[in-house]
Amino acid sequence: MRATDIQTVRALPLFAGIGEAQFNALMDAALLQRFPAQVQLIREGEEADFLHVVVEGLVEMFASSDGEETTIGFLAPVSTFILAAVLVEKVYLQSARTLTPSRLLMIPAGAVRKVFAGDTAFAGAVVNELAERYRDIVRQLRTQKMRTGIERLAAWLVAHGEATPDGLIVRIAFEKVKLASFLGMTRETLSRSFAALAEHGVSVSGRTIRCADADALVRLARPEPLLDEHGRPAA
């Protein structure tokens, strides 16, 4: 593992206040692995044996049921996942796969629990992380129950767009069918929602979306400060 990678991981809020010895203990136990795209890293129902950190690449969290799949979130570097399952020694409720070639740091669950018990700062950071994740999911549930498909799309665009002189530009880093699944609709409905947004100044070319009139989108999304203003979006 390169020193720069360690620095990156060290800088994560989760490890920010942790003691040097404890951090080293985690890193010594950890494995850094490369995975090609489309590798399933975690299967729901299995025992949680590692805390994962996305160091490079892109990871999708998803759930499957009856052959169907729904995307729960996307993880870009540097973020951790399945902390909850690791801490309570339960099976995963979600599955994960790489969407692009990725490098993952995998910290054995036992090591995480041990350091948690012994390092107050780490315990605090873990709680913060868990609480934030919890709040993310609550936001997703609210969005799912209270907004229509097109509103969810508008909100997502607003949240992920980059303001430029030309208006809002959004570059989707994955297949549109994944976005559709995350937003809780079929690919066909997503496609039609984009088409419907055309009259609000949205033009799509491939995975790049340009929104001439960001305000129109914001109005459409019926923004909720509580839902949309937060540090780390769910995806």
Among positions 175-194, residues that touch DNA (CB under 7 A) are: 175-177, 184-194
- What one-letter code names the amino acid at 195? A
Q: What does the chain come to in residues?
A: 235
Binding mask 58-77 for a second copy (x = CB under 8 A): -----x-xx-x-x-x-----
200 to 7, 93, 213: CA distances (angstroms): 44, 38, 7
The H-assigned helical ranges of the chain are: 3-10, 20-29, 83-88, 109-118, 120-146, 149-160, 176-183, 187-197, 214-221, 225-228
Which listed option, DNA, a second copy, none, makes contact with residue 87 (CB within 5 to 8 Å by class)? a second copy
Among positions 76-105, residues that touch a second copy (CB under 8 A) are: 83-85, 87-88, 90-91, 93-94
Residue 101 vs 184, nearer CB to a second copy: 184
Which listed option, DNA, a second copy, none, makes contact with residue 133 (CB within 5 to 8 Å by class)? a second copy
Residues 194, 204: contact at Cβ < 8 Å?
yes
Longest C-alpha distance within the chain, in Å? 58
Binding mask 61-100 for DNA (x = CB under 7 A): ----------------------------------------
Q: What is the dihedral of CA 104, 110, 115, 118, to 10 degrees?
A: 170
Question: To which H or E segment does residue 38 belong?
Answer: none
Contact footprint for a second copy (CB under 8 A): 44-45, 63, 65-66, 68, 70, 72, 83-85, 87-88, 90-91, 93-94, 116-117, 120, 123-124, 126-128, 130-135, 137-142, 144-147, 184, 222, 224-227
Contact footprint for DNA (CB under 7 A): 148-150, 175-177, 184-195, 204-207
